[in-house]
Structure formats: C-alpha cells, structure tokens
Amino acid sequence: MPKIAASVLNADFSKWKQWLPELESAKVDRIQFDIMDGKYVHNAGVDKKHIRTLRPETKLLFESHLMVRNPEAYVREFAEIGNTLLIFHVETTKAPLRLIETIVDHGMKAGIAINNKNPAKEILPYLGHADLALVMSVEAGLGGQEFNPKALEKISAIRKKIDADGALCEIEVDGGINAGTAKKCVQAGANILVAGTFLFRHPKGVKAAVKELQEAP
Ligand code: DX5
C-alpha cells in the first residue's frame, strides 16, 4: 500500500482544525508543504507560518518541497520549524551532495526532486545518498494540473537504479495524483504519492479520497 503525502497547497488554511483531524484519521503518512520563492517558480506557495501553526497540533511527519533558487538558504529555518524531510530540486543547486549532507547534518532527511521536463538521469547519481527521490508529474508551481504520463518512465528508471544498487531511497510522485494515476505510479515503482486537489476537493471528503489512493494498486 502506498504512503500518502497530503499536499496542503490548495487546502483552505482557515479550516485546518477541520481537515487536520481528517488527515490523521485517514492515516496519511505525512503533510507536504509546497514552498515557492516566486523566482524558480512564479507563484507563492504555502506560507511557512502555516508550518509553525500546525507543528504543535499533530504528530504527522512534515516534509517541505522547496521550489526555490538557493535551497541552501532554507535548511536551518526549515529544520527549526519542525520538518522531518526537506526536498530540493536538483536543478537549483550546484552541489546536490553537499546539500544532502547539510540537510542531514540539521537532523532532517533529504529528498531530491526532478521537475516535469528534467530527465531522470539528473538525479540517478544521488539515489544512494538521498532518502527520497521526488518525480514531478506536473510542472512545479501549481496544484490541480493534469498528470503527465511521461513521469511513469522516469519512475521506472529510478526504481531500476535503486533496486540495482540496493539503495534505500524512496520514490515519491507529485502532481495530478488520483485513483487512476496512483495505480500507474505504484505499478511503475513509486511508494509515496503526493495528493492535494484529489484529497481536498473529493466529493466524499478527505478520508474517502485517501482510502481510494491507498487501495488503488
Ligand atoms: C506543484 C505542487 C502540486 C501539489 C499537488 O508544484 O507540488 O503538485 O503539491 O498537486 P495536485 O493538486 O495535483 O495534487
């Protein structure tokens, strides 16, 4: 059964006291916060004050997805506000290995991401060092986009490399995840699914949506 990461990018934060317990009882594995600098992606993502608000309210794992230039500048603060895992895009740093080490030195797990148009080969050298590889199945920067099936071949290539090397890196997919695409991603080798729109806009509510994704494969 895949782990589910609830992306709160499109959630109504004024209603967190309603949906946070729903996420917990639905047994999501983690909450994902999309952090954007308006430079690497031309949008404003989740405000880090929301991470501070939610941290004391739940034991759920927090991961922040940095869609920013100079991710190195975010490590200390994002460790201090309670992230368990920090994900950066490989194309935003000149020193991915050193950044992974810095993230780990700050007590977090490290995730490395490739954007929709970037080839899988850009992160293959780091799979033995990172705790998680994030494959974007939409263009970073916006929730509610259509899943790009080209992500499936990237997932398979990354899965093949991880298994061949005996690496412990997990594979997470983000963007356009619903019951149909979830099944395809798990079959391709992913074990963590990020979902936002599907969870928070589902007609039967968050809990039913999470269950659909968990049972998809
Ligand atoms: C894009 C974001 C989205 C969000 C989830 O930068 O990372 O992928 O988390 O998107 P949806 O709404 O498609 O689940």
The verdict on the CB of residue 135 being under 6 Å from ligand 1 is no
Residue 12 annotated in active site:
no
Closest residue by CA, ligand 1 atom 4: 143
CB 88 within 8 A of CB 98: no
With tokens 């983000």, the residue in question is 174
Q: What is the CATH number of the domain that holds 154?
A: 3.20.20.70
Catalytic residue among 29, 37, 131, 174: 174
Number of other CB atoms surrounding residue 160 within 10 Å: 13
Select from 142, 203, 216 the least CA-distant residue to 174.
142
For residues 167 and 164, what is the distance between their CA atoms, to the nearest angstrom? 8
Q: Tell which one of 4, 8, 10, 210 to mutate to probe ligand 1, the residue whose CB is within 8 A of the most ligand atoms.
A: 10
CA–CA dist 147, 161 (Å, integer):
23
List 189's β-bridge partners, or say none. none
Q: Is 64 in the pocket of ligand 1 (CB under 6 A)?
A: no
**β-bridge mates for residue 135, sequence order:** 114, 173
**pLDDT tens across the length of the chain (217 residues):** 999 999 999 899 999 999 999 999 999 999 999 999 999 998 888 899 999 999 999 999 999 999 999 999 999 999 999 999 999 999 999 999 999 999 999 999 999 999 999 999 999 999 999 999 999 999 999 888 999 999 999 999 999 999 999 999 999 999 999 999 999 999 999 999 999 999 999 999 999 999 999 998 7
Residue to substitute in 116, 134, 194, 198 for testing ligand 1 pocket (most ligand atoms within 8 angstroms of CB): 194
Asked if 32 and 65 touch (Cβ cutoff 8 Å), the reply is yes
- pTM equals 0.96
Domain of 124? 3-214
Counted domains in the chain: 1
Ligand 1 atom nearest the C-alpha of 199 is 14
